[in-house]
Amino acid sequence: MDLLLNMLSAEHRQGQQRFAEVARSLVRVARPELLRRIPDEVSLLDPLLVAYFTEPEPTVTLEQLLYGRMTPETRPARITVRTDPDGAAELPGIGTLHTDRGCASLVWEFGRELRDRSGLVSYTLAEQRHLPGTSMVLDEQISPVLHGFFAASGVRVPVIPDAGAERVRDVVNALELLTSIYPEYDRVIRQSTNRLVLFSSTALNSFATPRAHGCVFLDTAYGRGSVFHLEDLLHQCGHVAFTAMTLDTGRVLGVDKDAPIGGTDDSGEPRTAYVVLHAVVTERLMAEGLLRAITSDLLGPMAQHEAAGRLGYILIRYAADMTDLVTADILAADGIPLGARLLADLNRLVAAARPHVAGLDLSGQPYNFDTATFLARNPRPALITGGRCA
Averaged pLDDT for residues 266-279: 82
Question: Is residue 269 predicted with pLDDT exceeding 70?
Answer: no
Structure confidence at residue 380 (pLDDT): 76
Instruction: Check pLDDT > 80 for residue 270.
Output: no
Mean pLDDT, range 367-377, rounded to an integer: 95
**Which pLDDT score is estimated for 47?**
96
Per-residue pLDDT reduced to its tens digit, 282-336: 999 999 999 999 999 999 999 999 999 999 999 999 999 999 999 999 999 999 9
Average per-residue pLDDT for the chain: 92
Buried b (16+ CB within 10 A) or exposed e, 109-121: eeeeebeeeeeeb
Amino acid code (one letter) for 216: V
pLDDT at 258 over 70: yes
The model's confidence at residue 261, banded by pLDDT at 50, 70 and 90, is confident
pLDDT at site 133: 86
Name the residue among 237, 232, 272 with its Cα closest to residue 255.
Answer: 272
- pLDDT level of residue 170 (50, 70, 90 thresholds): very high
Position 254 scores a pLDDT of 96
If pLDDT is split at 50, 70 and 90, which confidence band does 383 have? very low
pLDDT in tens, 181-192: 999 999 999 999
For residue 171, which of 199, 205, 211, 150 has the smallest C-alpha distance? 199
Residue environment code for 172-187, b if the CB has 16+ CB neighbours within 10 A, otherwise e: bbbbbbbbebbeebbe
4-25 residue pLDDT tens: 999 999 999 999 999 999 999 9
265 band by pLDDT with thresholds 50, 70 and 90: low
* Nearest-angstrom CA–CA distance, 205 and 283: 16
Which pLDDT value is given to residue 266?
54
- Does residue 194 register a pLDDT over 70? yes
DSSP H/E element including 263: strand 260-264
Q: Residue 132: which residues within 8 A CB-CB, separation 6 or more? A: 172
pTM for the structure as a whole:
0.93
pLDDT in tens, 43-78: 899 999 999 999 888 999 999 999 999 989 999 999
Q: At residue 195, does pLDDT exceed 90?
A: yes
**pLDDT for 382 beyond 70:** no
Instruction: With cut-offs at 50, 70 and 90, classify the pLDDT of residue 132.
Output: confident
Sheet of strand 124-127, all strands in order from the earlier edge strand to the far edge: 88-91, 95-98, 124-127
Cα–Cα distance between 290 and 312 in angstroms, integer? 10
Domain boundaries defined on the chain:
3-127, 137-389
What band does 268 get if pLDDT is binned at 50, 70 and 90?
A: low
